[in-house]
Structure formats: C-alpha cells, structure tokens
C-alpha cells in the first residue's frame, strides 16, 4: 500500500508541476474563445452584474466560473486566473481518484489507476491553462457522475449539479443518467426525488427565468446572437462516417471533414492546437494518437465487466455516454463548427474512460501489467508534449 501512495504522490507532483509551469508560460489570449471569456471578466469588473447574452460572444455562459475567479482577475489579471485553473485541476484529480476508488473498495490500487488514467489523458490537461469555463465544467460533471453512482440520494449530488449548471449548461446532459441512478437505487424514494427536483428548479430559476422572459428560450447560445460566418464541410452522412483520418493519420485537419476524426484527435492530443502550436506532424502526438486505441479497448473491456458485476454503475455510465453522444451529434448537425470544438462538451467522458480502465485493472488480472505500462508511457508522452516552451510568436 505504501508504494501505491508514493506512486500516486508522484503523479500528483508531476501533474502540479506541469500545470503551474504551463499557467506561467501560456498566452491567455490564445485558445478556445479565450478573448470572449476575458471580455466576460472585463464586463463583470466594469458593470458589477452578469452580462446579457446578446452583448458578447461568450456572454451566454452561466456566471459561476467568472464570479469565482473574479478576485484573482482583479488582483493578478488573467494569469492569476490561469493559476486558479491549475488548482481546480489538482483538486479534481485528487477527488476523482478518491471517489472512483470508492467504487472498488477491495482493491488498493484502484485510486492510483483512476488518477493516472485521468492525469495521462491529454484532453484533461491541455485546456487547464486556458481562460475558459470548459475545464471546471468537466470536473463538476465528472465528479457528479461518480457521486450519483455511489449514492444518488445524497444532497451533495443535487448541489453539485446546481453548481455545475451555474458553470455551464452542459451539466444538463447528466439529467437522464441521474434519473436512472435514482430509479435503480435499492431505496427508491419518490418524495426525495420530488424534493430534489424542486431544489434544482428553484436554485436555477434566476438564470432560467431571465432566459425565458428576455429571450423566450431556456438556454440561449452564442450562435443565436452571433451566427457562424466561416466555411465548413456539409453535415451529411459522409461527414459522420468519414474514416480517411485513420489511414492518412490526419492529426491536425480531420476536424474539418470528419466527425469521428475530430472527436478522436481531441481526446488524445492537442489537435485543436490550443496549448502546443505544433506544425503538421509531431512524433509525440502520433504516439498519443496510437496509444488511444489499445487503451480505449481496455476501457471497453472494463465496462463489459461492470455490466456483469455492477449493473447499476453500468447503466448510469452508459446512459450518460449515450446522452452525451446524442447531444454532440445534434450540435454538429445544427452548427457547422469544426467537429473537435464541441467534443469538449463530452469532456465528462474522461471519467467514463477512467472508470472503464480501473474496472479492467481490478477485474481482469491479466490486463494489469499492460494497463500499467501503457498508462505510464502515455503519461510520460503527454507531459513532455504539453510542457510548453516560450513560443515567441505567441508572447504578445
């Protein structure tokens, strides 16, 4: 047990070093709509109120991320917000490993494997130094998912969902999974289900009432006020089934013509070029791209084991997976962004992936050495790949 704790501490220390290092060097104006998020901070600072959605590109976002980081922004500017993002990530990494281990109480290494699986996954790392509510949203969504697997009738689940709603609307993709968790629990309590529903509706009413009264819609989004102006591939059957990115090993353009390629690349390396302004090809990116295949298969094998050994956790996880994929497909059908952009809406799938790998490690003894070796290689590649250098052309 002592060696497991030492290894876990090493993962945490390396992850902390990576995120603090990147927060120091990363240009905050470069990234996923970073300028729009910075404008939100400026609006809050100048007007001391939540901005209306129609006045700015990111102003449709719910306000918790910005309000919580406002003291850091006032005192230290955007870089202070980046450091705060690194702290969010480390807290999430610790809590995620702890909660996943609760699902596998008889295995001492479960926490280490879960934490390493999350820490080694590129999509959970390269967004951290950006000015964006996406990382915090994925943390809250993932933790809510595991909590409802452990005990959906705990009030903490409802409160976490409310906090998640005030961070980003995407938390609503957990709704069907939460309903399944409540209904499958051995102590089904209809009165508590009704009470939880009322609590969520009442606590989120300030935002939803504003949206309904002023914009006649429950969830106003940016594209409704600022239409997408750029060329994109048509959202036809070919877009959703195109597999050319596989044999072309197209790491950096697939998102413009392939739903599957853009999604896959988003999770395994910085295909969106948010953190590392790479050129056409990078050996470490290729390594991460290829490692994703055996690791994903091992995660699927873990979910198959969960289906046989813990059907409740299986049903909750698969309900979220199906909901997230449907929401992602619908978004791609409606809005012609490059396909990797909204893959971040599925960032809660990092927890699905980590849960599957942990289950595979716990239940399939013959897979343990393979999982351990692949995760260590992935973690080493990811850290070296995302250890940002001072790119001078991004310095201003």
Digit-by-digit pLDDT tens for the chain (396 residues) are 788 889 999 999 999 999 999 888 888 877 668 889 999 999 999 999 999 988 888 899 999 999 999 999 999 999 999 999 999 999 999 999 999 999 999 888 999 999 999 999 998 888 888 899 989 999 999 999 999 999 999 999 999 999 999 999 989 999 999 999 999 988 888 898 999 999 999 999 999 999 898 888 888 887 788 877 766 778 889 999 999 999 988 887 888 889 898 889 888 887 666 666 555 567 888 899 999 999 999 999 999 999 999 999 999 999 999 999 998 888 888 877 777 766 656 668 999 999 999 999 999 999 999 999 999 999 999 998 888 665 434 443
- Residue 172's nearest CA partner among 89, 263, 62, 95 is 62
Burial class (CB in 10 A: 0-12, 13-18, 19+), 321: middle
Q: Which is nearest to 123 in space by CA: 240, 295, 371?
A: 295
Q: How many residues are recorded in the chain?
A: 396
Q: Do residues 109 and 97 make contact, with C-beta atoms less than 8 angstroms apart?
A: no
In three-state secondary structure terms, 340 is coil
* Full residue range of the structural domain in which residue 193 is found: 2-394
Burial 336-345 (b: 16+ CB within 10 A, else e): bbbbbbbbbb
Q: Angle at the Cα of 350 (from 243 to 372), degrees rounded to 5? A: 95
* Number of domains comprising the chain: 1
Nearest C-alpha neighbor of 359 from the set 282, 296, 304: 304
Report the alpha-carbon angle 57-69-116, nearest 5: 100
């Amino acid at each position: 047990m002592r060696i497991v704790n030492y290894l876990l501490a090493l993962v945490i220390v390396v992850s902390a070093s990576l995120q603090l290092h990147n927060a120091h060097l990363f240009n905050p104006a470069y990234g996923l709509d970073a300028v729009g998020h910075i404008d939100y901070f400026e609006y809050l600072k100048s007007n001391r109120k939540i901005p209306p959605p129609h006045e700015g590109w990111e102003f449709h976002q719910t306000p918790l991320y910005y309000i919580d980081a406002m003291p850091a922004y006032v005192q230290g500017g955007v870089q202070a917000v980046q450091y705060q993002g690194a702290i969010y990530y480390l807290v999430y990494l610790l809590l995620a490993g702890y909660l996943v281990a609760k699902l596998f109480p008889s295995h001492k290494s479960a926490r280490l494997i879960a934490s390493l699986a999350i820490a080694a996954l590129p999509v959970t790392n390269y967004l951290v130094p950006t000015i964006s509510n996406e990382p915090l949203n994925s943390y809250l969504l993932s933790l809510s998912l595991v909590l409802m697997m452990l005990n959906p009738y705990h009030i903490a689940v409802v409160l976490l969902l409310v906090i998640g709603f005030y961070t980003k609307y995407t938390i609503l993709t957990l709704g069907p999974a939460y309903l399944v968790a409540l209904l499958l629990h051995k102590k089904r309590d209809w009165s508590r289900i009704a009470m939880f529903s009322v609590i969520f509706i009442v606590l989120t009413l300030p935002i939803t009432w504003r949206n309904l009264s002023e914009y006649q819609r429950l969830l106003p989004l940016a594209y409704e006020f600022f239409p997408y102006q750029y060329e994109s591939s048509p959202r036809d059957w070919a877009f959703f089934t195109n597999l050319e990115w596989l044999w072309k090993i197209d790491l950096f353009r697939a998102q413009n013509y392939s739903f599957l390629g853009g999604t896959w690349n988003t999770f395994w390396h910085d295909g969106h070029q948010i953190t590392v302004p790479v050129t056409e090809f990078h050996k470490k990116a290729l390594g991460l791209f290829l490692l994703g295949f055996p690791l994903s298969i091992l995660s699927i094998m873990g979910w198959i084991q969960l289906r046989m050994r813990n059907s409740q956790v299986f049903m909750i996880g698969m309900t979220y997976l199906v909901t997230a994929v449907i929401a992602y497909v619908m978004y791609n059908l409606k809005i012609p962004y490059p396909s990797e952009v909204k893959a971040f809406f599925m960032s809660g799938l990092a927890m699905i992936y980590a849960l599957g790998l942990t289950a595979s490690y716990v239940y399939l003894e013959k897979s343990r050495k393979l999982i351990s070796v692949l995760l260590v290689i992935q973690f080493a590649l990811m850290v070296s790949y995302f250890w940002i250098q001072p790119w001078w052309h991004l310095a201003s």
